Structures are given as structure tokens and as C-alpha cells.
Amino acid sequence: MLTAAATDSYLRPGARAWRCRPAPADVPRFHRALDGYRPTPLVELPALAAEVGVGRLFVKDESDRFGLPAFKILGASWAIRQALADRADGRPVTLVAATEGNHGRAVARVARMLRRPAHIFVPRTIGAASATAIRSEGATVTTVPDGYDETVRRAAAYAAGDPSRLLIQDTAWPGYEQVPAWIVEGYSTLFHEVDEQLAAAGAAPAALVGVPVGVGSLAQAAVVHHRDGRGRPAALLGVEPAVAGCVTASLRAGTLTEVPTGTTVLAGLNCGVPSSLAWPYLRDGLDAATTVSDDDAVRARADLAALGVPAGPSGAAPLAGLRAMRHHTGLGLNRASTVVLLSTDGAAGRPA
């Protein structure tokens, strides 16, 4: 039986006025040149638009991205390309990552495409199916008898000091920020697709974008895209599990804050501390953050499934968050607004 943990929320007036540098323009071109590229669907759901009182509501369905059940390969592929190009010696390397599912599988998939070995560290809480999926890509999998944050530390320690090992991690800490920055850049393709798909549907630009938040890398990419001064200043709503609201807690405290985590069906968002790279962007560029209970996320997943979108609990979290926050006037929503929710994983996915 699921538990309905207490939820929390945060609003920051003025976030849409903040500005930052844009992502590199060549990232979408890189992805479009890869075998198997196609934009993931942007699905319009009029019933949900009517429920929350907006004009049009779309869900970006990332349940099949290059044959994987989540968006993570966008960041992993670009970061690995940049990291390998940055190694002047060109010697063979093993790609290393920590994950609760989809990031590690994405790294393993790219390693297989490049005919390189991969070593993926996973926490003990990972499901057997997720570990098996990573192994199916040809990677070595090591299980760590702790949670996600300790698993990241173990992977980093394994890769440190050995030039034959290259850490490809999607969270940053002091001294490790370049690779996570490339991963964030890789996610920019998703947002360019959304802009093009909204235009093709005859919809107004997004007034609000809902983003699932773990360590905050995808939310950072959303901030970069919508705060780069190019006329796309949507309100941005970050959504976290109630048992792991590290970004909401950090926003309330005004400083990077680590929180204890618990058990949640939103496993890929079960992170205790935001990425140090993402934090300044989230602090200054997010309009709102909220936590959601497992019960509300599971209900949102069922509702999306009934409407033809095969979201996992983490991918359904933005719908649960929008339902919790829709009456807050600070988001500026009305019956003419266009809303986009990012469903980052499919029913078989587990973003980490």
C-alpha cells in the first residue's frame, strides 16, 4: 500500500526575468545525425487541459528514445562524444556511471555503440529488471549496498586516478562539473523538439513547463532553454517526491541542502542533494517547485495511461505537481495558456 507523505511547495516571483547563456546550437544537429533518431511524440490531452483550466495541454512522451524507455541517452551521448574528443591520447577507456536505471543503461548503450566497455554501479534498491536491462547492453554491473548518493561516490572513487576509466555522471560536485555540464547540454534537443512540435500543432508557446526533478540536471536544461533571452520565458515547475524534496528544501533555505531520502515509487527522483552545477540555475530560474506523494504520482500515471501515454511514476510526476499547484496565481495560468509536461520515462523506465 502506498503512503501519502506530506508535500511541500515553493514559489519564486521574478524567475522569468532571469537570464543565462544558451546551450550550444550544434547539439540538436549531433542527435539528428545519429542512427535511429526521431523526435519523441508531443501528445495533446484536451481532457487534462479542461481539468486544470488551461487552453491546451501537451505531454512530451519519452517512453521510446533511441529504443530506450527514457530521455537519458540525449545527455549521455553528447557528453561521451565531448569527453572522448577531450582526451588527446585517444587510448581505450571504460565508461563508468552510477545509476538507478536509465542513465546507466544509456551510458552502457552508447558504450556498446562505440564498442567500448562500460562499468555501471547501482544501489541495492534497484529492481532486478533494471539491472538486467543494463547488463543486456554488455555492461558490467556492480551493486552497492547503500542508496543512490553513496553509489555515486563509489563510482567516482572507482574511476578516480585511473586513466583507463572515464566517469560519465549526471550530477555534479565541486571538482566534477564538466561532464555533467555536457549532459545538460545534451538535453537541449528535447526542448528544441517541443518548440517545433508546438508550432506544428498551431499552439502558442508554452506558458508553463512541468519537469520531474531528481538531482536537477533536466530542470537545469529547462531553465537554460527558457531563460536564454530568445523569447521563450515559460514558467517552470519542478516536481519531486515528497520523501526526497532536496530542491524544494534548498530553495526554501536559499542554499544547497541535503535531505534524507526514503522509499518511493518515484525511484529515479529519489535524490538527497541537488547537483552543484544545477543549483544556481534552479535557485534563480525556477518559478516553482513542489513535492508530490506516491499516491498522487500513481494516480497521475494511471490517468496518463488511460489517455494513451505510457508514463512511469517519475514521468507522471509533473501532472501530479500541476494538479497540486494549478490554483497558485504566481504561475500565471489561464484558459488561454499552453502547458507542456515532460514524461521523462515510459512504463518500463526508471530515470536516475
* Mean of the per-residue pLDDT values of the chain: 93
Q: Coil, strand or helix: which one is 115?
A: coil
At 305, the pLDDT band (50, 70, 90 cuts) reads very high
> Residue 80 — pLDDT band, cuts 50, 70, 90?
very high
- Residue 3 — pLDDT band, cuts 50, 70, 90? very low
Total residues found in the chain within this entry = 352
Average pLDDT of the segment spanning 52-59: 98
| The C-alpha cell that represents 250 in the structure block | 534548498
pLDDT range class, residue 31, cuts 50, 70, 90: very high
**61-76 per-position pLDDT tens digit:** 999 999 999 999 999 9
| CB distance 174 to 20 below 8 Å | no
Q: What is the pLDDT of residue 100?
A: 84
Q: Each residue of 268-291: pLDDT tens digit?
A: 898 899 999 999 999 999 999 999
218-262 pLDDT, tens digit per residue, is 999 999 999 998 877 899 999 999 999 999 999 999 999 999 988
**pLDDT value for 6:** 61
In the predicted structure, residue 188 carries a pLDDT above the cut 90: yes
Q: How confident is the model at residue 1 (pLDDT cuts 50, 70, 90)?
A: very low
Plot region of 276 (φ>0 → left; ψ -120 to 50 → alpha; else → beta): alpha
Assess whether pLDDT exceeds 90 at residue 115: yes
- What is the pLDDT, as a whole number, of residue 2? 47
pLDDT for residue 238: 98
pLDDT at residue 87, as a whole number: 84
**pLDDT at residue number 341:** 98
pTM comes to 0.93
Q: Percent of the chain scored above 70 by pLDDT?
A: 97
Note the pLDDT tens digit of each residue in 199-211.
Answer: 999 999 999 999 9
Nearest CA among 261, 287, 265, 292 for reference residue 274: 261
pLDDT at residue 5, as a whole number:
56
Give the whole-angstrom CA distance, residue 246 versus residue 289. Answer: 10
Mean pLDDT to the nearest integer, 309-322? 96
d(CA 294, CA 309): 19
C-alpha cell at 62: 519519452
* DSSP collapsed to 3 states, 285-343: HCCEEEEECHHHHHHHHHHHHHCCCCECHHHHHHHHHHHHHCCCHHHCCCCCCEEEEEE
Residue 90 is predicted with a pLDDT of 73
Res 334 pLDDT > 70: yes
